[in-house]
Amino acid sequence: MSKILIIAEHDGKKLSSASARCVTCAAQIAGGEITLAVFAADPAPIAQQAASLTGVAKVITITDARHAQSLAAVLAPQVVQLSADYTHIFGASTTFGKDLMPRVAALLGVPQISDAMAVESPTRFKRPIYAGNAIITVEVAANRKVVATVRTASFEAALDGGAATISAVNTDAPAPTHTRYVSLSAAASDRPDLQSAPRVVSGGRALASKDNFQLIYSLADKLNAAVGASRAAVDAGYASNELQVGQTGKIIAPQLYVAVGISGAIQHLTGIKDARTIVAINKDAEAPIFEVADFGLVGDLFQILPALEAALS
């Protein structure tokens, strides 16, 4: 039987929806038993949320003041110690999971699957390569642990309705002191979270300035949407790095994605392919974004955006 350990992701208070998406992926492994591991300084509230997810059998908590921050060098040896009881170790394909899981896999001496997007069997998974321009099926050799990051855009979040048991465990893995957390600068925002929002409005280079990028925020407010940006817009300083959508930014799957002034480089398209409906607004009728858009509108964004906002009022 498969026993799957998911390393929960959280901000110290709230379980990330990325972890709920990992649960859905893990639940597709037939006959699997799912355990969530919560490493935190105060894991209780996060463990409660994890335990209520449908499909989760057990939640284990590992309490340590150092877990107030998530350093891969500190966490990986502990995950390795816990891993003895499990056949699969999963983390979300977020910057947290992409930092931690390869370190775990290497310590275990096994390869890792990045961005698992479909479960074919307990040892067989699909994943994208070349910015999503090809999909490969990979098979993990028999008797080896399966360590994977889960492509969150490929799975819906598991819903509430579960009642898993919660228990505290201890690890005695030595924690290195060679890596030290200093600080996190995060833009405080009341807006919906880009990675999990049902609606996203993204702006590109055509916005032409940070001031003009406010037009994107304004439309997003009207739609109660999260804000995203193309690499070009981030590079130019119109938007901050955590808003970047694409191969090297966030891969998202909202119900509605509105791309404004984004030409649609393949690196950007790979981040939005799983959106249910894509709207593209661009003055260049030949822009590649129109190849993936469900609704395309050619024109000047500086005229279209105010008109669109007015029409939505």
Partner 1 sequence: MQKIIVGIKRVVDYNVRVRVKPDGSGVALDGVKMSVNPFDEIALEEALRIKERGEATEIIAVSIGPDDAQQQLRTALAMGADRAILVKTDQAIEPLTAAHALLAIIKTEQPDLVIVGKQAIDDDAAQTGPMLAALWGRPQATFCSKLTISGTVATIVREVDAGLETIEVDLPAVVSADLRLNEPRYVKLPDIMKAKKKQLDVTDLATLGVSIDDGLKTVHTEAPKARAKGIMVKDVAELVDALKKKGLVS
| Residues numbered 196-255 forming contacts with partner 1, rule: CB under 8 A | 199, 223, 231, 234-235, 240-242, 247-248, 250, 255
Q: How many angstroms separate the CA atoms of 41 and 46, rounded? A: 11
Q: Does 179 bind partner 1 (CB under 8 A)?
A: yes
Contact yes or no for 15/49 (Cβ under 8 A): yes
- The residue (of 64 and 242) whose beta carbon lies closer to partner 1 is 242
Among 157, 173, 175, 292, binds partner 1 (CB under 8 A): 292
By C-alpha distance, which of 164, 172, 124 is closest to 37? 164
- The residue (of 62 and 219) whose beta carbon lies closer to partner 1 is 219
- The residue (of 168 and 299) whose beta carbon lies closer to partner 1 is 299
Subset of 18-57 contacting partner 1 (CB under 8 A): none
Among 40, 59, 62, 76, binds partner 1 (CB under 8 A): 76
Cβ-count burial 115-151 (b if 16+ within 10 Å, e if not): bbbebeebbebbbbeebbeeeeebebeeeebbbbbbb
# residues contacting partner 1 (CB under 8 A) = 85
Q: Does 286 bind partner 1 (CB under 8 A)?
A: no
Write each residue from 81 to 120 as x if it is in contact with partner 1 (CB under 8 A), else as -, in one continuous string: -------------xxx-xxx-xxxxxx-xxxxxxx-----
By C-alpha distance, which of 71, 127, 79, 124 is closest to 106? 79
Dmax (CA) for the chain in angstroms is 62
Write each residue from 135 to 164 as x if it is in contact with partner 1 (CB under 8 A), else as -, in one continuous string: xxxxxxx--x--------------------
Q: How many angstroms separate the CA atoms of 52 and 19, rounded? A: 12
Among 163, 266, 284, 300, binds partner 1 (CB under 8 A): 266
Question: What is the bridge-based pairing of β-strands 118-121 and 124-129?
Answer: antiparallel
Contact yes or no for 125/148 (Cβ under 8 A): yes
- The residue (of 55 and 264) whose beta carbon lies closer to partner 1 is 264
Q: Does 256 bind partner 1 (CB under 8 A)?
A: yes
